[in-house]
Amino acid sequence: MIFAIKRFETHDGDGIRTTVFFKGCPLRCRWCHNPESFSRETEIAYNDELCIRCGRCTSLCDASVIKDNKHIFDRTKCTFCGECIDICPRGAYSIYGDNRSAEEIAEEVLFDEIFFKGSGGGVTFSGGEPLMQTDFCVKLAKILKERDINIAIDTCGYVSREAIEKILPYADTFLYDIKAIDPEVHKACTGKSNELILDNLKFIDSKGKNIEIRIPYIPEYNSGEIEKIAEFLKGIKNIKLIRVLPYHKYADSKYLSLGTKNLSPEKIPTKEEIQRARETLRRISGHKVN
């Protein structure tokens, strides 16, 4: 299951890309800006900030009631029929969860083939964690490879070795997240330890695949890890680029509209902090950093 397809992505790998967002993730990074990617189930989002209390949805569905100018939404009553989306004048509802087949998704994605080919771009599998749905991932990748499409896998690395082995023949690049080296810090930030992640990265490296490392920078959470990360990355040969992604507090209303508990940190990094982190990474790891 996927939850979105975004076109003209220029930040997720080479050239102009289309990113397919897979639904479901084994980690729970506190700063995640895609809370709709956590669950593997279909979800409905209702954004109260957009609602003007027109009453259209309440007259067709029991999930919503308006009382004293308050819109009360009971998502447990939702059957995902999608009618509220058609009728709401403000676009307050969205459904996350798209069960189309790999063939159908490939067809939609291939629509931008001329843009991939003309720019050296391709398709990025992201999420969530795409490799949690290994077979689906491989099926989609196979179809795309038949058309010679460049494929990037954006992974958190917390997946089985088998999943990685299966996707390897189709992947041109791995966009690989590293959040911390200290297992305790990693656990505190994401809910899981990181041995598997670091191991998988070494494995991918041993297979000679292109790697782009992404390090989200969150003050007070993993900001103390930068030197250790840099030391670790020094030993990974096939890194083409390390990117530091400054934390932004963008996703609050998304959490709210999904009814998901929001544990996002408050503090945003300064430009100087990010510059310093980049500098450190460059100096210690010897790789290109952006």
CB of 88 or CB of 181, closer to ligand SF4:
88
Stretch that binds another protein, among 99-107, 161-169, 177-185, 246-254 (CB under 8 A): 246-254
Q: Shortest Cβ distance from residue 92 to ligand SF4 (Å)?
A: 4
Q: Shortest Cβ distance from residue 43 to ligand SF4 (Å)?
A: 10
Stretch that binds another protein, among 49-57, 72-80, 131-139, 161-169 (CB under 8 A): 49-57
Residues 112-131 as x/- pattern, contact with another protein by CB under 8 A? x-xx--xxxx----x-----
79 binds, among another protein, ligand SF4, none (CB under 5 to 8 A by kind): ligand SF4
| Angstrom distances, CA of residue 287 to CA of 10, 78, 231 | 21, 49, 11
Assign residue 74 a region (left: φ > 0; alpha: ψ between -120 and 50; beta: otherwise).
beta
Sign of the CA dihedral 177, 178, 183, 185? Answer: negative
DSSP state at residue 160: -
Length of the chain as a residue count: 290
Asked if 19 interacts with another protein (CB under 8 A), we say yes
237 binds, among another protein, ligand SF4, none (CB under 5 to 8 A by kind): none
Q: Shortest Cβ distance from residue 225 to ligand SF4 (Å)?
A: 42
Sign of the CA dihedral 48, 54, 60, 64? Answer: positive
> Six-digit token pair at 242?
């390390």
Report phi then psi at 166, rounded to 5.
-65, -35
Asked if 33 interacts with another protein (CB under 8 A), we say yes
In 108-118, which positions are buried (b, 16+ CB within 10 angstroms) versus exposed (e)?
ebbebbebbbe
Using CB under 8 A as the binding criterion, the count of chain residues that bind another protein stands at 40
CB of 198 or CB of 218, closer to another protein:
218
